[in-house]
Amino acid sequence: MKKKVLIEEELYKKIAISDLILFGIHSITSANRECRFATLVHKCFELFPKVFCLSGYSKWPDTRKLDRPLRSLRDQNLITGNPKSMFSLTKKGRKRALEVANLFRQKKLL
């Protein structure tokens, strides 16, 4: 069984939501899994619950928090796909996701 990753709340709350989403996509695809919208919502909420929770209901994810950032990431050519299919990182997106992963590994604050 794979070890659950715990990222400190004080660290991830200082990172842009779009970078957290890129990291979520990277986490899913690097495990050789398809990154469907529901999977991405679950992964982002699992990794970053305080950012992706439904306002007033901390035990539930809020899918709306992914909508605009996903469109923006696609417009910036960092991801491909859409909620009806799957998401994947472009070369540029993968580079940024690895930079975010490195921040988490080193526990550096932005």
Q: Is the pLDDT of residue 3 over 80?
A: no
- The predicted pLDDT at position 106 comes to 77
Least confident span in 15-24, 30-39, 47-56, 98-107: 98-107
Q: Is the pLDDT of residue 107 over 80?
A: no
d(Cα 26, Cα 14) in Å, to the nearest integer? 19
Token pair 């919502």 is found at: 41
- The predicted pLDDT at position 6 comes to 65
Token pair 């715990």 is found at: 6
Provide the percentage of residues in the chain whose pLDDT is more than 70.
Answer: 91
Q: Is the pLDDT of residue 33 over 60?
A: yes
> What class has domain 9-106?
mainly alpha
Task: Give 16: exposed, middle or buried? Use CB within 10 Å, 0-12, 13-18, 19+.
Answer: exposed
Q: Structural domain boundaries of the chain?
A: 9-106
Q: Is the pLDDT of residue 11 over 90?
A: no
Query: Dihedral of CA 23/24/28/29: which sign?
Result: negative
- The predicted pLDDT at position 5 comes to 57
Q: What is the pTM of this model?
A: 0.90
